[in-house]
A and B are shown apart, each in its own frame.
Chain A
Amino acid sequence: MNAGTKGGGKVFTTIAISVILILWLIPTIGLLVTSFRPVSLINTTGWWTVFYVNNGPEINKSEGTYLQQLGNRLTIDNYIDALTGYRGTTTYRKDCNDGSKPLGYKCDISDLLNPRGMGRAFLNSVVVTIPATILPILFAAFAAYAFAWFDFRGRYVLFAILVGLQVVPLQMTLVPVLRMYSALGLNGTFLAVWLFHTGFGLPYAIYLLRNFMGGLPRELFESAYLDGATHWTTFTKLVLPLTMPAVASLGIFQFLWVWNDLLVSLVFLGGTKPVMTYQISNMVTSMGAGWHLLTAAAFLSMIVPMIVFFSLQKYFVRGMMAGAVKG
């Protein structure tokens, strides 16, 4: 389609899009700005006042450029407090500089691992997410190859069942799996979450990879066969390298899915090994409106997805389009 077939229409389109975009961005900007404001200001003025430096009620009309004044009114204490899980009345930095060590803190780098903090939760999220992304893709690649290029009894029926399994809500399986884990002593372990995400990631992963592998040209397999290749060498040397674009899409999709998941971590890990989503939801319920911590914590949890999303958007969209339902 060509751009702007009608003059008046084009102005209208641009205005309409701009309005929608601003509406879409404002909530996130509000969060970002607030996360850099000192507690006292967060609770007394709206975040938007940060931009009009010279007429806000709390401004000292001292010297300094607009940016300097703006900078003076921003702080990174919220992020430090969120990372260390500091819940005192001042800030972590102030308490440590005063020499009055807050209870349970050493005022050194080890405080980043405080169990209440987002630093520890960040590590837990990483530990949960990486195996929970790799494992389903690994198992799925084998199964997908078989569904695409092997002939075996029940192939078609099994795959149809698999398509159906994609939309089974995970709530349906929580209680039995929880009981199974209790019997095996797996509750509160990373292994429990890895396995669960693997099980639920598989139907979609197999579906997507099988469609991709099935689309590889048949001649490829014929010539491999004539060269005397076995299925194993064809799979590992030929099909897997060619499937990498699909694996990338799937990997990003699964990564974000696990990283952003709350329910599974809440049920199987809970407070024993808090991940970022758990830590934030816990802050929301247990401390009401501690906005300085909440906003900083929320933004910390978004950094990784944002980086992944903006650098690998193409793959993410492709992975999502390939089959679209999950979970």
Chain B
Amino acid sequence: MAKTNVAPVMKQGKVIPWLYVLPALIIMTIFIVYPMINTINLSFLNKNGTASAATTCVEGEPCWGIFENYRYALTAELDTTNFSTAWNSFWLSSYGNMLKWLVVMVTGTVVLGLVFAVLADRIKHEALAKSVIFMPMAISFVGAGVIWRFMYNYGTSKVQTGLLNAIITSLGGEPVAFLSTIPINTFMLIIVGIWMWTGFCMTILSSAIKSIPNEVIEAARIDGAGEFKVFTSIMVPIIAPTITVVITTMVINVLKLFDIVYVMTGGNFSTNVIATRMYTEMYTNSQDGRGTAIAVILVIAIIPFIVMNIRRFMQQEVMR
């Protein structure tokens, strides 16, 4: 981060700065700010934006008036016959799946990334080992989707050409249709996400670990702390701020996740997440009102992180 004062040193008019900034500002206004406002507006209208969402209410069914699209977005996947059906259907809805993704993928990538960063720090070919873990970051979700569909392949005949099922059958087990068996399929997709993003967490955490002064670690060792103790009581607390940054970044990434699910299951077999469901409403069902309502819900989930980002930025500004 920059350490110098950024106060300007040269003379300037009032207009000149804006000539530099305006092109970018205009493009961002057209493509981010204006569409966001428009999306909020559309989420209160019917499917093609011609009338209020309240007009789509059906006689004799629950209706939230102008918030009708939000009622649909929040409750359509739930079976509210009784508490237990509601509970079960929630965990198979896009929101329940999102929670599974958040918990498992964020924990998985951060823990694996941290462990690997610590381990790789001690071996000879550290750079090589790290680039293997990092490599999936460079390929597309679509490519990764194909790679893993093949790993999970479920052979209908006696031959299993998917590696996982081949291992299972050679150990005497029954082959599993990983991508269509509820509820394990969502976790199978999460594994793909972990495979792709662990390298990201590892890289950032690794550079934080390397910035810990050697003396601190050595002092702890001399005091008789074991390696595990050094890890949990010295390293982790020191790099805690970095871990927080990595976790928030991962949470944002997971909330926006689309491609893995779209390519591997298309959101079928109860694997939908918020973004794939939004896509289905908008493009498959041509329900712009409902689709934009889902998008607004997504952004509301992300707002705390937007605020955190701005706050962190302001703290950095104060420090420089």
Given contacts A17-B123, A225-B10, A285-B266, contact A215 B2 (CB under 8 A): yes
Q: Is A7 engaged at the interface, CB distance under 8 Å to the other chain?
A: no
One of B70-78, B96-104, B304-312 at the interface: B304-312
A215 to B306, Cβ gap below 8 A?
A: no
Determine the chain B residues whose CB is within 8 A of the CB of A316 once the complex forms. Answer: 138
Q: How far is the CA of A160 from the CA of B146 in the complex (A)?
A: 39
One of B51-59, B180-188, B291-299 at the interface: B291-299
B123 to chain A, nearest CB (A): 6
B150 to A291, Cβ gap below 8 A?
A: yes
A250 to chain B, nearest CB (A): 14
Residue on B nearest A289 in the bound complex, by CB: B153
Determine the chain B residues whose CB is within 8 A of the CB of A143 once the complex forms. Answer: 20-21, 23-25
Q: How far is the CA of A8 from the CA of B207 in the complex (A)?
A: 26
Q: Which of B5, B143, B282 has the most CB of A within 10 A?
A: B143
Give A127-162 as 1s and 0s: 1 = Cβ < 8 Å from B's Cβ atoms: 000000000000110110111111110011011101
Give B78-114 as 1s and 0s: 1 = Cβ < 8 Å from A's Cβ atoms: 0000000000000000000000000000000000000
Given contacts A145-B20, A172-B299, A175-B291, contact A200 B227 (CB under 8 A): no
Q: Is B280 engaged at the interface, CB distance under 8 Å to the other chain?
A: no
Determine the chain B residues whose CB is within 8 A of the CB of A229 once the complex forms. Answer: 10
A167 to B295, Cβ gap below 8 A?
A: no
Q: Is A21 engaged at the interface, CB distance under 8 Å to the other chain?
A: yes
Residue on A nearest B289 in the bound complex, by CB: A175
Q: Is A27 engaged at the interface, CB distance under 8 Å to the other chain?
A: yes
Determine the chain A residues whose CB is within 8 A of the CB of B32 once the complex forms. Answer: 165, 168, 173, 199-200, 203
Query: Which of A27, A140, A165 lies in contact with B151, CB distance below 8 A?
Result: A27
Given contacts A27-B151, A172-B295, A301-B143, contact A20 B116 (CB under 8 A): yes
Query: Which of A147, A216, A294 lies in contact with B146, CB distance below 8 A?
Result: A294
Q: How far is the CA of A42 from the CA of B217 in the complex (A)?
A: 52
Q: State which residues 143-167 of B face A: CB under 8 Å.
A: 143, 145-151, 153, 159-163, 166
Residue on A nearest B15 in the bound complex, by CB: A152
Residue on A nearest B8 in the bound complex, by CB: A151
Q: Is B232 engaged at the interface, CB distance under 8 Å to the other chain?
A: no
A31 to B150, Cβ gap below 8 A?
A: yes
A230 to chain B, nearest CB (A): 8
Q: How far is the CA of A261 from the CA of B135 in the complex (A)?
A: 17
Query: Which of B209, B210, B263, B302 lies in contact with A281, CB distance below 8 A?
Result: B263
Q: How far is the CA of A309 from the CA of B134 in the complex (A)?
A: 10
A44 to B159, Cβ gap below 8 A?
A: yes
B48 to chain A, nearest CB (A): 10
Q: Is A56 engaged at the interface, CB distance under 8 Å to the other chain?
A: no
Determine the chain A residues whose CB is within 8 A of the CB of B132 once the complex forms. Answer: 21, 24-25
A145 to chain B, nearest CB (A): 6
Q: State which residues 3-37 of A face B: CB under 8 Å.
A: 3-6, 9-10, 13-14, 16-17, 20-21, 24-28, 30-31, 34
Query: Which of A4, A20, A150, A259 lies in contact with B16, CB distance below 8 A?
Result: A150
Q: Is B178 engaged at the interface, CB distance under 8 Å to the other chain?
A: no
Q: Is A305 engaged at the interface, CB distance under 8 Å to the other chain?
A: yes
Determine the chain B residues whose CB is within 8 A of the CB of A123 once the complex forms. Answer: none
Q: Is A52 engaged at the interface, CB distance under 8 Å to the other chain?
A: no
B164 to chain A, nearest CB (A): 10
Q: Is B200 engaged at the interface, CB distance under 8 Å to the other chain?
A: yes
Q: How far is the CA of A180 from the CA of B255 in the complex (A)?
A: 26
The 3 closest A-B pairs by CB, nearest first: A199-B31, A173-B35, A260-B140
**A interface with B by C-beta (< 8 Å):** 1-6, 9-10, 13-14, 16-17, 20-21, 24-28, 30-31, 34, 42-48, 139-140, 142-143, 145-152, 155-156, 158-160, 162-177, 180, 195-196, 198-200, 202-203, 206, 211-212, 214-218, 221-222, 224-225, 229-231, 234, 256, 259-263, 267, 277, 280-281, 284-285, 289, 291, 294-295, 297-299, 301-302, 305-306, 308-310, 313, 316-317, 320-321, 324-325, 327
Known: A145-B20, A301-B142. 8 other contacts (CB 8 A): A24-B132, A47-B163, A150-B8, A151-B7, A163-B309, A301-B143, A302-B139, A321-B204
Query: Can you identify 22 A-B contacts, CB atoms within 8 angstroms?
Result: A1-B122, A5-B122, A6-B227, A27-B150, A139-B24, A143-B23, A149-B8, A150-B16, A164-B307, A166-B309, A174-B295, A175-B35, A206-B24, A221-B10, A224-B10, A229-B10, A256-B138, A260-B139, A277-B142, A284-B263, A298-B143, A327-B256
